[in-house]
Structure 1
Amino acid sequence: MLRRSLIVLSALLSGCSPSAPDSNASSLAVQLWFNGAPLRCSDTITLAQQPWQLAQFQLYLSDISLNNKPLLLDPTPLHQQPQLALLGTVCGESANDNWQLKFTRPLSAGVLAFTVGVPASRNHQDPLRAASPLNQSDMFWSWQQGYKYLRLELAGAAQQWALHLGATGCQSASPMRPPTTSCQQPNLARISVNYQRGQILTLDLAPILAEFTPATDNHCMSDPNRLSCQTLLPRLGINGTPLGWSMQ
């Protein structure tokens, strides 16, 4: 009788305690934040005392590693190849949202590193023939320039603002031909975060856009000579320290 009571008590106590992280978890949730809270398409944020809403946020992540060992992605029909994934949302087209990375093996604690961008060897190709997720036309500039690694677009009361990150200074005979030499500004940002099981990967836009005033005349299309890009690109990790990335 005493033994049966102890078994029942043990079961009750285990049911009340927090569940342990799944040691076999092979996926990682990703969230876009603003000022420490998740940012959704329906949310309004304030920049330079003006209201804005998210219109589109998508980015490519590639060359992912954990503790300096390659971490392969589990291919999916729309969003993942073994070494590259497309994350984010186009507001109003939520059917193609993707906020999760799925890997071929369980994750362990350690240093998770990845590149924001498309590797140079794959950056200049025909998107009409490319496999998903490299076939999304609005994430592509031209064969010459390659892909938009990150596309952020905001909608204001009567204006739109955009930040597109990609390679610049790419030389070829025409925009419809790939370059034969490396682009002058590859603009690939390498990010490292300390991962613990059960955490999610977040990108907070607030420190990236801090004290910045979006306007129709200061879009950033990765031009290093443009004042808006000189402010924003280092915050994304282009010749500067990347801001906003963390594990939560």
Structure 2
Amino acid sequence: MSFLFACKEPSTTKIEFVVKQHGVQQTCDERQTLMWFVSEFKSENAISIKPSYFSSNSVALIGANCEKNSWQVELNAGDLDEEKLSFSMAVPFNENHLNPLTAASPLNISEMFWSWQLGHKFFRFDGDNDFAFHLGSTGCKSASRLRAPSAPCAYPNRYRFELAQFDAQKPITLDLDRLLSEVDRSRSCMSEQANEICQQLFNNLTTKIFYQE
């Protein structure tokens, strides 16, 4: 007697991100660079990511190009409707300082890397009039810029966001107006602690810049 067992594909939930500025949803604009890492998804429990070209099982890069799949993340979890969903804008510490020459996608994309010592840019925005905001960890100590730190950086600059009732049918909106609120864009921010422009951006990152409509 023989038995046949059908292997059922694990259920997943696909999340789409969109960007809003000046009150309208933005289309892809090659004059403006906008990318960020997401990781550490959690509902009741931690949720891993389904690997793709722009993601590993732990971290995904959003906005790498104008293709739709670079604005999506597929989570290894079933029905998340009406569930609380949270995530980080960051690369986990144990992956942030890996050798950039051997790192797998999406941590091998050079535009999002500072140095082996500092790790990756968690968020990168290069806008109009030469204004730029690059978010990443600072105060990272190691023998040289070509070595990884053994302890967390003095200023991790990791931010966590939560949706109280996630709706899988709706995209998650990043609101640039909220992120850039009251920010003097005459100078850029490279996550320097002494930069008052950075301090305003850091404060804005603690507000509701991600939401669903």
Which residues in structure 2 correspond to 1:166-181 (within 5 Å)? 166-181=136-151
Q: CA separation in 1, counterparts of 2:153 and 2:159?
A: 15
Point out where structure 2 has 5 or more consecutive residues left out of the alignment. 1-10
1:200 aligns with 2:165: no
Point out where structure 1 has 5 or more consecutive residues left out of the alignment. 1-23, 43-52
Question: Offset of 1:40 from its aligned partner?
Answer: 2.3
Q: CA separation in 2, counterparts of 1:151 and 1:205?
A: 12
**Percent of matched pairs sharing the same residue:** 31
> Which residue in 1 is equivalent to 2:46?
70
Larger Rg, first or second structure (1 or 2) = 1
* Aligned CA-pair RMSD: 1.9
Question: Offset of 1:188 from its aligned partner?
Answer: 0.7
Quick one: which of 221, 224, 232 aligns to 2:193? 224
Question: Offset of 1:243 from its aligned partner?
Answer: 3.2
Kept after mapping to 2: 8 A contact 1:56/1:152? yes
> Which residue in 2 is equivalent to 1:3?
none
4+ residue runs over 6 A deviation? none
1:136 aligns with 2:109: yes
Quick one: which of 196, 201, 208 aligns to 1:243? 208
Please give the secondary structure, in 2, of the residue aligned with 1:81.
Answer: coil
1:86-124 deviation per Cα after TM superposition (whole angstroms, max 9, x unaligned): 00145xxx3596111112232322111001000111111
> Which residue in 1 is equivalent to 2:18?
31
> Which residue in 2 is equivalent to 1:191?
161
1:216-248 deviation per Cα after TM superposition (whole angstroms, max 9, x unaligned): xx2111111111101111211xxxx23321012
- Amino acid across the alignment from 2:159: A
- Amino acid across the alignment from 1:148: K
- Amino acid across the alignment from 2:178: P
| TM-score normalised by the chain length of structure 1 | 0.76
| TM-score normalised by the chain length of structure 2 | 0.87
> Which residue in 1 is equivalent to 2:63?
88
Report how many aligned residue pairs link the two structures. 201
